[in-house]
Each structure stands twice: as structure tokens, then as C-alpha cells.
């Protein structure tokens, strides 16, 4: 791996071969007294900015589209409603707030990205009472953004750990294993692996139903009476009415389907392979998507939805792994002194 720009071997080690910064590192300009003084000043800025942050948690995955942002968003929402907060609150900072419109593309090279990460860490004004958890939603992969974020935070001892998100199939896990190796190399503690979209779950009463179209529906019929071209006809109300009349208890059952069948030991086996905790699986729940689209706290807005229990269990494990010391008010302090 990278020996770091301040190392005496910077630009000379075998790992430097092919790196676009090799020539710059080999000059020693990053290890000069002036450069080291600037790095220390930078670390002091970050240390001061994060002095009231109890835990900085990275949300990582080597694979795109596995639901990192969904997990990060709803973990933040759910943590904001746990008892570790005196009052419920949730603050967000995003590059999207700085763009001229919602559809604008961010076309930046590494140095510009690194500068923005540093600005976010040093210039964002959080609540005066500080943060219990700073959750950092990262892009997929192990690129400049990840290295810079980890290095900035590690310079001030500010990385509490990382949650690594995956879906169950091998095409996802093969990339996520690279992310776990990234954590090993950068010495970032993995708080646990989250298996997102583990299974589709929905109450039967919320399902939609369709039946194959027949000639009677105006479709071109086949020998068995079906259309033969895959055409279907909406029949949700008809089916639900039949169930209400003949088997109402079925309506309260949970229908499941393995949308992404697990490969081998699945994410649980992968977690065991890397000797890190398996935090559990989040089912593919339509209400979870709706909560994210509407900017709502899922566990509050859809308290009876199938994914609420797994998400609460996930957050409980995070709080247990990264506890926050609650400040005592004057009454509590006096009570403790009297007991002593």
C-alpha cells in the first residue's frame, strides 16, 4: 500500500510505481519542515472543529447501488430518536447544498475533492452542544475521497469505525471484500457488516396482484387460454376481497422473496471471514424507500413496517459498540454526591 507522502520512502517504494503523485512525493516536499508545520496546523483545525463530536462513523462499500446512502440516512434518523440525545435533532451537510441546481454534475479532480472534504471537516458549524454521531456517507470504492477522509480523521484520532454495506449476491460481495481489506490496510475499525436488501418483505394486504391475460380480456389467446405474450391484468382488489371473505388471517401475514439470493455463506460468512461483526440484514421494504424519498424518519413514520425491527436492532448494536456519555445536570450531580 501507499507509504504516505511524508515517509522517507515516498516516491521510491515499490508501491509508488505507477502513482500519478510519485514524482511529487520523491522530491521530499511533503516531508519538509514547512510541509510538516502546515500538516500540523491542518490537524489542529480539524481537531478543533470535531472537538464536540463523540463518534465519527464512516459508511462504506466497494459496490455502488447497495444502499449506503439509505443506510446512512436512516441510521442518522434513528440515532436522532434514541435516548442518547437530550433533545431530538439531526443536521446534514452535503455537496448538493453548494450546487446551482439539483441536477448539476460535480466534475472535480482529486485535489478539489480533497479540499472540499477538508472544508466540510473544519468549517461546518454544528450545534453548540456538539454531536453524538457524525455519520459520513462515502461514495463506492476505495478512491481519493476515502483515503483523504480517513487520513484527515486519523490525524486527530477521530475515526470511531466504519459500517460496511453490501447486498447478498457475490457480484456485490466481491467488491465489498476489497473495502474490508481497505479498512485493514488503513487501520479503520469495522463496527460491522450490514446486509441490505436481504429479502423483500411486505404485508399481504399491501401487495399488488396480476393474472395472465386471456382472450376474454381482449388479448391474443394461446392454446391454454392465456395471451402467450406475457400480458397481465390488474386484479388486486379482486384477490384481496377474496382473501377478506375466505381467509382474512392471511392479510396480516408477511410475504417474503429472495430478490438477491445469497452466494456461499453470504454477508454473514464474509463477516466471519474478516473477523468483524455481522450487524444484521435490512429487508427490501417499500416504506423504507418512501421514508427516504420524503425525508422522514422511517422507524417513526412507518412503525409497523417489516424493516423497522431490523433497523432498530442495527442501531442498538451501533449504540452499544459506540456509547455516548450523557452529561449530567445539576440535580443528577447532587444526587450522585449525596450517594457517595
pLDDT tens, position by position, 276-308: 999 999 998 889 889 988 888 899 899 989 899
CB atoms within 10 A of CB 283: 23
pLDDT at 223: 47
User: Tell me: the pLDDT tens digits for 37-50?
Assistant: 887 888 888 888 78
Q: What is the pLDDT of residue 331?
A: 56
Distance CA 74, CA 292 (A): 8
pLDDT attached to residue 86 = 35
Asked if the model's pLDDT at residue 241 lies above 90, the reply is yes
- The b-or-e profile of 25-34 (16+ CB within 10 A means b, else e) is beeeebbeee
Residue 248, C-beta contacts closer than 8 angstroms, at least 6 positions apart: none
Residue with the three cell numbers 387460454 = 225
- 96, 24 Cβ separation under 8 angstroms: no
| pLDDT band at residue 189 using 50, 70 and 90 as cut-offs | very high
Lowest mean pLDDT among 209-213, 221-225, 226-230: 221-225
CA geometry: angle 143, 91, 101, nearest 5 deg: 65
Specify whether the CB–CB gap between 312 and 78 falls below 8 A: yes
pLDDT at 11 exceeding the cut of 90:
no
Mean per-residue pLDDT for 202-207? 89
| Cβ neighbours, 10 Å, residue 301 | 14
162 pairs with which residues across the strands?
A: 58, 190
319 pLDDT exceeds 70? yes
Window from 74-83, 102-111, 153-162, 232-241 with minimum mean pLDDT: 74-83
Per DSSP, what are the bridge partners of residue 136? 58
Bridge partners, residue 56, by sequence: 134
Contact by Cβ (8 Å): 294, 284: no
Q: Mean pLDDT across the chain, nearest whole number? A: 82
pLDDT band at 74 (very low <50, low <70, confident <90, very high): confident
Three-state secondary-structure class, residue 203: strand
Q: Of 34-43, 191-200, 252-261, which gets the smallest average pLDDT?
A: 34-43
CA proximity to 275, closest of 180, 187, 188, 186: 180
User: Cβ distance 297 to 79 under 8 Å?
Assistant: no
pLDDT tens string 85-125: 335 567 788 888 777 787 888 887 777 888 888 888 888 77
Cβ 118 vs Cβ 152: under 8 Å: yes
The pLDDT of residue 164 is: 93
- What lies within 8 Å, CB to CB, of 178 at 6+ separation is 62, 142
Mean pLDDT of 177-202: 91
CA separation (Å) from 222 to 11, 217, 235?
71, 13, 21
Inform me whether the pLDDT recorded for 220 exceeds 60: no
User: What's residue 1's pLDDT?
Assistant: 62
- Cα–Cα distance, 92 to 338 (Å, whole number): 41
Contact (CB, 8 A) for 204 and 252: yes
CA distance 115 to 119: 6
In sequence order, which residues have a C-beta less than 8 Å from that of residue 261 and are 6 or more positions away?
168, 169
Entry field: residues in the chain: 340
What is the average per-residue pLDDT within 179-204? 91
For range 261-266, the mean pLDDT: 86
* Whole-angstrom distance, CA of residue 4 vs CA of residue 155: 13
Amino acid 84: pLDDT: 39
**Which helix or strand (DSSP H or E) is residue 309 part of?**
helix 308-321
Q: What's the pTM value of the predicted model, to 2 decimals?
A: 0.75
- Is residue 191 within 8 Å of residue 321, measured between CB atoms? yes
Amino acid at each position: 500500500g501507499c507509504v504516505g507522502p511524508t515517509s522517507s520512502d515516498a516516491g521510491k517504494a515499490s508501491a509508488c510505481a505507477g502513482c500519478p503523485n510519485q514524482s511529487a512525493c520523491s522530491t521530499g516536499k511533503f516531508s519538509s519542515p514547512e510541509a510538516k508545520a502546515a500538516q500540523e496546523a491542518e490537524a489542529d483545525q480539524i481537531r478543533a472543529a470535531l472537538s464536540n463530536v463523540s463518534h465519527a462513523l464512516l459508511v462504506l462499500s466497494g459496490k455502488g447501488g447497495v444502499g449506503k446512502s439509505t443506510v446512512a440516512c436512516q441510521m442518522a434518523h434513528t440515532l436522532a430518536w434514541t435516548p442518547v440525545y437530550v433533545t431530538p435533532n439531526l443536521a446534514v451537510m452535503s455537496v448538493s447544498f453548494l450546487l446551482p441546481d439539483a441536477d448539476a454534475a460535480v466534475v472535480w479532480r482529486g485535489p478539489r475533492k480533497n479540499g472540499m472534504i477538508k472544508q466540510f471537516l473544519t468549517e461546518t458549524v454544528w450545534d453548540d452542544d456538539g454531536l453524538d454521531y457524525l455519520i459520513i456517507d462515502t461514495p463506492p470504492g476505495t478512491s481519493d475521497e476515502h483515503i483523504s477522509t480517513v487520513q484527515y480523521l486519523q490525524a486527530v484520532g477521530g475515526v470511531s469505525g466504519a459500517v460496511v454495506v453490501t447486498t447478498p449476491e457475490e457480484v456485490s460481495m466481491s467488491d465489498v471484500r476489497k473495502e474490508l481489506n481497505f479498512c485493514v490496510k488503513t487501520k479503520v475499525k469495522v463496527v460491522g457488516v450490514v446486509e441490505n436488501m436481504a429479502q423483500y418483505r411486505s404485508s399481504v394486504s399491501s401487495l399488488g396482484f396480476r393474472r395472465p391475460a386471456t382472450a376474454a380480456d381482449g388479448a391474443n389467446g394461446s392454446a391454454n387460454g392465456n395471451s402467450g405474450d406475457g400480458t397481465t391484468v390488474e386484479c388486486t382488489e379482486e384477490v384481496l376481497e377474496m382473501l377478506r371473505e375466505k381467509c382474512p388471517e392471511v392479510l396480516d401475514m408477511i410475504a417474503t422473496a429472495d430478490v438477491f439470493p445469497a452466494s456461499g455463506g453470504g454477508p454473514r460468512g464474509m463477516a466471519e471471514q474478516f473477523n468483524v461483526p455481522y450487524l444484521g440484514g435490512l429487508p427490501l421494504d417499500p416504506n423504507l424507500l418512501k421514508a427516504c424519498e420524503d425525508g422522514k424518519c422511517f422507524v417513526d413514520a412507518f412503525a409497523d413496517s417489516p424493516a423497522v425491527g431490523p433497523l432498530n436492532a442495527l442501531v442498538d448494536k451501533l449504540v452499544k459498540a459506540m456509547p455516548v456519555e450523557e452529561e449530567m445536570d445539576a440535580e443528577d450531580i447532587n444526587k450522585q454526591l449525596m450517594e457517595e
